[in-house]
Structure 1
Amino acid sequence: MNNFTIIYRILKVLNTALDCPEPDMTRISAEQLGISPVKRDNILRLMQEEGLIRGLGITDYFDGVHYVDDSQVHITFAGMQYLQENSMMQKAANLAKGIADTIL
């Protein structure tokens, strides 16, 4: 799975979590995403740096080890926009594929 697909899945889960008083963060665990914990943590860090999510707690230790606390992570408005734009692009791509399949 490519990184943008992982980002999309995380944002989709967090967007759905807006309706829940206590979101189930296991849905964005490394195991659920099918990636390594290190990759998941790095993607979450990048997403926060880009303003797609907020509330990620990161503690970097001197020996290079880091701890990521995702218990307060939530989607931002920019994350919702990213989700919407990519959803529309996916629909357009599916439509174009359908048209191409029909023509061929």
Structure 2
Amino acid sequence: MTVDNFKLIFRILKYIEACMEYESFDDDNFAASHFGVSKALFLNILQTLLEAGYISGIKIVIDKCGSDIALINPHLTVAGMEYLADNTMMKKAYRLLKGIKDITPGA
């Protein structure tokens, strides 16, 4: 996976997390075009997130017309919440360490 794929994973998980604050899921913007990627990549990343146990309530439907998404109360699992928490903390630590390096003479 490329760094861009991990950014996409983070953005998808953050989107689902934000939607969990409301009674209904904002499925109008839950599309490949909203995330600026191809439909194939979007579906593949969603499938990966489902298989990893990070999300639930989403089904990839494949038929004669192609692939699509069925949304059945999409939400993050505990593993998905942990992924977001870990990656947010890692980003903060990276920025802090980079800042220290930037101001340390001879580093």
Structure with the largest fraction of helix? 1
**CA 1:27–1:91 in structure 2 vs 1: closer, same or farther (change >3 Å)?**
farther
Aligned equivalent of 1:24: 26
Percent identity of equivalent pairs? 35
1:19 Cα shift? 1.1
Take 2:25 and 2:62, find their aligned partners in 1: how far apart are those partners? Answer: 25
Relative to the length of structure 1, the TM-score reads 0.86
Select the structure that is richer in strand: 2
SS at match of 1:70: strand
> SS in structure 2 opposite 1:66?
strand
TM-score by length of 2: 0.84
Match of 1:73 in 2: 74
Q: Is the 8 A contact 1:13 1:27 kept in 2?
A: no
> What value does the CA root-mean-square deviation take over the aligned residues?
1.9
8 A contact 1:58–1:67 mirrored in 2 = yes
CA drift at 1:71: 5.4
Match of 2:57 among 55, 58, 75: 55
Structure 2: segments with no counterpart, 5+ residues:
none
Gaps of 5+ in 1: none
Between the aligned partners of 1:56 and 1:18, the Cα distance in structure 2 is 14
> Structure 1: which 4+ aligned runs deviate by more than 6 Å?
none
- Structure 1 residues 22 and 28, CA gap change in structure 2 (3 angstroms): same
Aligned equivalents of 1:26 and 1:89: distance in 2?
31
| Count of residues in correspondence between the two structures | 103
